Structure 1
Amino acid sequence: MIYKFKSKAAGDVIMMGPGGDQVLGIIGKAPGPKGIIEPAQMPAAMKALEAAIAAEDAVRKDATEEDDAKPGKGDGISLRQRAWPLVEMMKRAHAADEPIVWGV
């Protein structure tokens, strides 16, 4: 499944299924074909994403230090890279008091 997050306050953000499922799970939303993030929910959602990003960054840093190697091509896209567009969308939508929806 492909997620297309939309808000009147920002341009669309598109995520592939697994990444979208992961981000929605972190912010406490059930992955599914339709949904909404209300402006009142956005500060907690952004904090949850920031905490998950910090935790993943720490794990990646520890793994790199233990292996004493540089990250290679197989490391994939980090949560920080994957979630950044949605976090920026949340900041704009929250400031404009507009919801973020997908699947509608």
Structure 2
Amino acid sequence: MPYKFQSRATADLIMLDATAQRLLALIGKETDRPGIITLEQIPGAIAALEQAVQNDEARRAAAGNGQDDEEVSEDDAPSPRDSVSLRQRAAPFIEMLGRSAAEGRDVTW
């Protein structure tokens, strides 16, 4: 079942389960029921997502250079078949969060 993120500041954002669950987990939100990212929580959520994007890009760069990083678990390592980066997957959500914060609105799903 796809996730539908809503804010009064933006159009709805529909995201497939796996992507939405990953992004919500990165910001510390539960995915088993509807939820909210309050205006006060948005800056922290954006920071967490941006940090995860940077970490993902570093892992991809290390994997592309043939370097082994023992600290990277199998769950965190990008799949060779995963050609869509976390940056691409998170960008619409980060934009929604930013616009919602600018207009003083919460984001729900």
Letter in 1 for 2:22: Q
In 2, Cα distance between equivalents of 1:36 and 1:76: 30
RMSD over aligned CA atoms reads: 1.4
| Superposed displacement of residue 48, structure 1 | 0.3
* Residue 91, structure 1, aligned to residue 98, structure 2: yes
Letter in 2 for 1:24: L
Matches within 5 A, 1:5-84: 5-66=5-66, 74-84=81-91
| Structure-2 residue corresponding to 1:2 | 2
- Runs of 4+ in structure 1 off by over 2 angstroms are 73-76
Give secondary structure in 1 for the equivalent of 2:14: strand
TM-score, structure 1 as length reference: 0.87
For these two proteins, the number of residue pairs brought into alignment is 97
What's the % identity of the aligned pairs?
40
Unaligned runs of 5+ in 2: 68-79
Higher strand share: 1
